Amino acid sequence: MKFLALAFLVCVLALVVAQKKKGEGDKDAKEEDDTPKCGAWEVWRCASTNCSETTCEVPTLGHHCAKDCEEGCFCDDGFFRDDLGNCVTWDHCTRE
pLDDT tens for 22-75 read 555 554 444 556 778 999 999 999 988 888 889 999 898 877 788 889 899 999
pLDDT value at residue 88:
97
Q: Is there a single domain that holds both residue 12 and residue 50?
A: no
Query: Are 23 and 54 found together in one domain?
Result: no
Distance CA 67, CA 91 (A): 31
Helix (H) or strand (E) holding 75: strand 70-75
Alpha helices in the chain (DSSP H): 2-34
User: Could you tell me if 27 and 46 lie in one domain?
Assistant: no
Query: What stretch of H or E contains 44?
Result: strand 42-47
Q: Compute how many other C-beta atoms are within 10 angstroms of the C-beta atom of residue 44.
A: 12
- Residue 77's domain comprises 42-92
26 with 54, same domain? no
- 30/61 same-domain check: no
Structural domain total, the chain: 2
Residues 29 and 51 in one domain: no
pLDDT of 35 reads: 76
Q: Note whether 87 and 49 are same-domain residues.
A: yes
Burial of 54 (0-12, 13-18, 19+ CB in 10 A): buried
Give the pTM: 0.58
pLDDT classification of 12: cutoffs 50, 70, 90: very low
Co-location of 50 and 80 in the same domain? yes
Provide the pLDDT for residue 87. 97
